[in-house]
Structure formats: structure tokens, C-alpha cells
Amino acid sequence: MYQEASNTNLLMLLHTAVYPFIAALIISFVAGKLSRTLPPLGYLGGFVVGLSLIHSGLSFPPNQAIDYYLVTVFIGAVILLSLTPIKTPVATNGVLFLLSGLSFFFLLNPVLKHAGFIISVSWAVVSALIVVFYYLVSPKTQNQRHKYEAHSLSHYSLPIGLMIVAGSAAPVVSIGGSLLIGQLLGACGAALFAYITVGYFTKNTPNNSVTPALLILGGLITQSHVLADLPLGVMLMVSVSLFVTPLILLFSNKISHSIIGQIIVSSVISAYSLWLVWPESSLY
């Protein structure tokens, strides 16, 4: 019995962390050789690998709510490739809002269909506004990146922040909501870690790299509430923690400040959330 449990845990670790990390590592490296704007496709590819392993019934065209992450990945790639050539802020924000709203609508409509079309659209609009607000805050930190050396983690402050949020939210969602969504959060964090690792050692400077990850992470957080009954308060606290890194970077140029601040806030929120969602009966 113990051997079977050990094998199950090992398989879960491989699907949640190891395979997404390796896939993202390879794709990020190859994409970086082709163009400096393409490495983020690495963490998208790594997440898809994790998604296909964790969600064994993955299908396209989508059949279940989880299947729509393939649509989110596609929309994320479109955003990644389309935002760079757009120079007008109004047009950029408009495209980002429309595509983000579309992504969230596809993810949430299957589980909110019983509540009506207006409710699904409302959730999508609010989620898209949060993404746009994150984007508006984040570029102010990007303007100071020229002060850093190319070989610096400072270029990856925002992806590191999202990675920490994903990692800290994974156990909360796994225990209090859905093991499947918790595993997907782990796969997202592992894929981001691989992307950051490749970018650091290849000295690639990212550009508009976090928006696709924000769509995936935001989708997982919202689905953990509407699909897996995670308390609304927990979802809101995790959502607020997304802004810790960009807000710190508005006042400090040091990567250590943003990482330490994000770890502290995410750890406190994770610990408090675990206390809120921990089951009364033993997990075993």
C-alpha cells in the first residue's frame, strides 16, 4: 500500500513539476534562438504539457471547462505577438482588454452557464480589467530596466512574482478546492521557473512576457472559486498578491526587495488561507 502511494506521489510530481519544467526549458531555449520575443512561448508550451498530463481527458475542440486552457494559451500567444508592434497605448489597452476578456469568458462560461450569460460576461469583464490594470502598472517598472546589466534577474522580476504566487496558491487550492487546479498551478509555476532560468543564462531581455502567464494564473484562480468552491475571500487575497511585485518595483529598483516582499506576502496569505480551508477531518 505504501509503495503504491509512493508511486502515485512520484507520478504526480513528474506531471506537476518535472515534465512541464523540462518542456518549458527546451521550448524557451529554441524559441530564444529564433527571436527575442518568442521565449515566453516556452512557459506556454510547458503548461500545455502539464495540462495534458494532469488532465487526462484533455480534448480539442474543448469539451470541459479545463479544456479551454488550450484556448487561453492560444490567446496568450496572440497577445504576446500582437502587443509588441502596437505603439499606441489606447490601442494596446483595447486589444489587451478584448482578448483577455475573451479568454476569461471561455474559461468561466462553462461553469457559470447556469447563472446566465450576463454573469459570465461580468466575470470576464472584471477579470480583464484586472489584467489591464496589472499591465498599466507593470510598464512603469520596465522603463528602468536599461540600468541593469543584461545578465540580471531584474529583467524577470514580474515572472518571478507570478511564479511565487502560483507556487504559494497551489497547496491552498489543492487542499481547499481542487487537486487538479492545484496541480495546474504547480505546472504553471514550474514552467515559469524554466523560462526564467533560460532567460537568465542566455541573457535574453523579455518584452511583454508576463501577460499570457497572467491569463493562465488568473483563470486558475477564478476557476478555483467558481468551479472548486474556494472561498471568495481566499480568491481575492491571492488576486491582490499578484500586484505585490509591480507595486514594490515602483518604489525600489532592487530585485531582492521585490522577491522578498512577494515571498512574505504570498506566504502569509497562503498560511492564512490554509487555515481557512483546511478540512475538519483528516486528509488521510
Q: What is the mean pLDDT of each run of 10 residues along the chain (284 residues)?
A: 56 80 91 80 90 82 84 89 74 86 87 78 89 80 45 78 92 84 91 89 72 90 81 88 90 84 93 81 47
Contact 131, 215 (CB under 8 A): yes
What pTM does this model have?
A: 0.86
For residues 14-32, one letter each, b for 16 or more C-beta atoms within 10 angstroms of the residue's C-beta and e for the rest, the string is ebbbebbbbbbbbbbbebb
User: How far is C-alpha 93 from the chain's CA centre?
Assistant: 20
Helix, strand or coil for residue 34? helix
